[in-house]
Amino acid sequence: MGKKIAFIGLGHMGGPMAANLVKAGHRVSGFDLAPEALDQARTQGIEVSESAAAAAAGADVVITMLPAGRHVLGAYQGENGLLAVAAPGTLFLDCSTISVEDARAAHELATAAGHRSLDAPVSGGVTGATDGTLTFMAGGSAEDFADAEPILASMGGRIVHCGGPGGGQAAKVCNNMILGVSMIAVSEAFVLGEKLGLSNEALFDVASAASGQCWALTTNCPVPGLVPTSPATRNYEPGFAGALMAKDLGLAVQALESTGAQARLGSLAEEIYRNFAGGAGSGQDFSGIINDIRAASDVEAPAVEALA
C-alpha cells in the first residue's frame, strides 16, 4: 500500500526521486525553498506544501535530499522543524551526501525525538535518479532498514545495508575517495603517455584489459572519443560535476581528520579537485581534471575529430 511521504529538497536529484515515488503509488508532499523546483514538482504529481513542516505533518516517512549537513540539521531542528512536527515513530531517511559526524548527529536527534532514522546517500547521479536506478548505501538498524528498503527500491536499483548510523555515509565517502584518486591516476597516465609519444588509443587498449582497468578508465574515460558515452566525449558536460567531487573529497578529509586515518593520496586528491572546482571545473565533469594536468605538463589536448 502506498505511504504518505514528505520529500524535502526537490533539486536535481530530489525532484526525479520524488517523481519515482509518485509513480510507485505513494502520496508525496514536497517542499523546496526554490519556486522553480516546486513548479517542476507539480508537473510530476507531487503535492506541493507551503513549508517543510506542512509537508511532514501526518507523513509516514520523511525524506531529505539537501545540499549539505547544515541544511539537514537545520531542517530537522527547531520549534517548527521536521522532528518536532512529525508524528512519533516517523521514519526519517536522509539521502543527502553529508559527513559521517553530521549523519550520526541527525540520527541521535531523530531518535531522541522518538523517531526512526537511516542515512541513505546515493550514487548514480541525475540519470540514476531519473531512471530509478540509484544505488543506496544505508546506515541504521536492521529493522528500520527493512521498512525503508521497499521505499528506496522505488527510487533505486541496488540497496545496500552498510551497518549502523553513519554507515551509509562512510561507504559513500570511501567509494568517492577511490573514484577521485583513480580519475587523477588515469588522467596522469594518459598525459604521461602523450609526453612519451604513446597514442591514447594504444594506452586505452592495453590498460582497459590489464591491471590498470577501473571505472574511471573504461566507463568515464577522461580522453574524448574512446568511450562514446563518457562525459569527455560530450565536451565534459557532467556526469558528475567537479564541484560535487570537491565536496565529497572535502567530506573524506573531514573523516580522515576525525579518525586519524592516513590517506596521502585522498588528501592530495581533495586539494587537486578543490582547485579544479574553484576554476573552470566547477560545472564540468570531474574527468575534465585531465585538462589541468595537460596544462601543467605543457601538452595540447588532442582534437576530438582526430580520435573519432
Long-range contacts of 80-83, Cβ-Cβ distance < 8 Å, separation of 24 or more: 80/51, 80/53, 81/52, 81/53, 82/6, 82/8, 82/52, 82/53, 82/56, 83/109, 83/110, 83/113, 83/115
| Of 140 and 238, CB closest to ligand NAD | 238
Distance CA 153, CA 132 (A): 8
Cis peptide before 239 (omega within 30 of 0): yes
Region for residue 51 given its phi and psi (left: phi exceeds 0; alpha: psi -120 to 50; beta: otherwise): beta
* Nearest CA among 108, 158, 125, 164 for reference residue 248: 125
Question: Strands of 27-31's sheet, edge to edge?
Answer: 47-48, 27-31, 4-8, 61-64, 91-94, 116-119
**Least separation, in Å, of the C-beta of 13 and ligand NAD?**
3
Region for residue 216 given its phi and psi (left: phi exceeds 0; alpha: psi -120 to 50; beta: otherwise): alpha
Distance CA 92, CA 203 (A): 47
Which residues, listed in sequence order, are joined to residue 30 by a DSSP beta bridge? 7, 48
| Of 33 and 192, CB closest to ligand NAD | 33
Distance CA 299, CA 141 (A): 52
| Of 158 and 302, CB closest to ligand NAD | 158
| Cell 516517523, residue located | 90
| Of 30 and 225, CB closest to ligand NAD | 30
**Least separation, in Å, of the C-beta of 301 and ligand NAD?**
25
Q: Regarding beta strands 61-64 and 91-94, do their DSSP bridges make them parallel or antiparallel, or are they unpaired?
A: parallel
Question: Is 172 among the catalytic positions?
Answer: yes
**Least separation, in Å, of the C-beta of 213 and ligand NAD?**
24
| Of 34 and 146, CB closest to ligand NAD | 34
**Least separation, in Å, of the C-beta of 138 and ligand NAD?**
14
Among the listed residues 3, 172, 195, 247, the single catalytic one is 172
Residue ranges in contact with ligand NAD by CB under 6 A: 8-14, 31-34, 37, 52, 65-67, 71, 74-75, 96-97, 122-123, 125-126, 240, 244, 247
**Least separation, in Å, of the C-beta of 46 and ligand NAD?**
13
Annotated catalytic sites, by residue? 172
